[in-house]
Amino acid sequence: MKILLTGSNGLLGQKLVALLHPMPEVELVATARGGNRLAELYPTLRFVPLDVTDAAQVQQVLAAERPTHLLHTAAMTQVDECEQHQDACWAQNVTAVAHLAAACAQLGIHLTHLSTDFIFNGEEALLTEDAIPDPLSHYGASKLAAERIVQATSGLRWSIARTVLVYGTLTAGSRSNIVLWVRDSLRKGQAIKVVDDQWRTPTLAEDLAMGCWLLARQSAQGIFHLSGRELLTPYQMAQQVASFFQLDPSLLERVDSSTFTQPAQRPARTGFNIAKAERELGYQPRSFAEGIALLAQQTEPSPT
């Protein structure tokens, strides 16, 4: 099978390259809007520049490459940035998906589209795939609009992978996440405020990449929830991080979300029921403790 990946420079994109590039049964084509950040790590990786907001470029690249499957991970995902720059958010998260869905339908390419728990209003946790969306933010509204385009595109074979609070380490580039932020702050002796009234099922980026591969490999149809299993607050996550790295938990100040002023509203409770993905795909995510251990292994200097 031949897989074309959008957003290969992002966190999930990098994990998908690490997973798929070594597979003999997969011919991988990585694409991103900028240059290839992974060129040094994967000198044999085929890379094609692609701006998914450009309809002509999407059509040209997909027609030239003719992949059997497309994994669409490129998106504008900073929630407050989406609230403040709504036109840019819509172009990247909605218009781009319309271009990709139309080209995939025309060329017979199976599309796996990444979506989010932020399409929900936060009134319920551990949501199943048939829960009713009701987004609170422009980001959530854009991702829901994209889902509806995918579902409504005539002749398209598709799967939608929704996920929650993805964390992991970038191989090329830098981006913080809750594990590294808590570890690094506590190591410096900094007290930090961490919310204890928002609930999520945090998702290790490696697990999400595996879930996307399982969807593509089976040419799965429909919506699938891919996240971790454990429903935790950021404060509970921070406590686990402090415990793992043997850092001072008294530096963690438990606060509620009203402490912070943010442009975009966040849902109070989400988190996913992943039984469908476990049953139909064989999806098996790591525990949050196992995720912390993996990040430690990837970011800590090896003992000599």
- The enclosing domain of 209 has a CATH number of 3.40.50.720
Q: Does residue 74 sit within a domain?
A: yes
Q: Which residues span the domain enclosing 93? A: 2-166+204-228+272-279
The CA distance from 275 to 283, in Å, is 9
Q: Does residue 177 sit within a domain?
A: no
Q: Does residue 100 sit within a domain?
A: yes
pLDDT category of residue 171 using cuts at 50, 70 and 90? confident
Q: Does residue 301 sit within a domain?
A: no
Q: Does residue 32 sit within a domain?
A: yes
Answer yes or no: is pLDDT of 225 > 90: yes
User: Which pLDDT belongs to residue 109?
Assistant: 98
Q: Does residue 216 sit within a domain?
A: yes
Beta carbons of 211 and 277 less than 8 angstroms apart:
yes
User: Which pLDDT belongs to residue 303?
Assistant: 61
Q: Does residue 90 sit within a domain?
A: yes
User: Which pLDDT belongs to residue 176?
Assistant: 80
Average pLDDT over residues 194-214: 97
Nearest to 62 by CA among 23, 97, 107: 107
Answer yes or no: is pLDDT of 212 > 60: yes
Q: Provide the residue count of the chain.
A: 304
Average pLDDT over residues 47-65: 98
Answer yes or no: is pLDDT of 23 > 70: yes
What global pTM score does this model have? 0.97
Answer yes or no: is pLDDT of 272 > 80: yes
The CA distance from 31 to 225, in Å, is 25
pLDDT category of residue 304 using cuts at 50, 70 and 90? low
- Rounded to the nearest 5 percent, the helix, strand and coil shares of the chain are 40, 20, 40
Beta carbons of 89 and 142 less than 8 angstroms apart:
yes
Condensed to tens digits (0 to 9), the pLDDT of residues 172-190 reads: 877 788 999 999 999 999 9
User: Tokens 């943010």 label which residue?
Assistant: 262
User: Which pLDDT belongs to residue 235?
Assistant: 98
Mean per-residue pLDDT of the chain: 96
Average pLDDT over residues 225-237: 98
Number of domains in the chain: 1
Condensed to tens digits (0 to 9), the pLDDT of residues 90-113 reads: 999 999 999 999 999 999 999 999
The CA distance from 147 to 47, in Å, is 27
Q: Does residue 138 sit within a domain?
A: yes
Token pair belonging to 199: 């609930």
The CA distance from 60 to 66, in Å, is 10
Average pLDDT over residues 274-293: 98
Q: In a 10 Å sphere around its CB, with 0-12 CB exposed, 13-18 middle and 19+ buried, how is residue 280 labelled?
A: middle
Nearest to 159 by CA among 86, 219, 201: 219
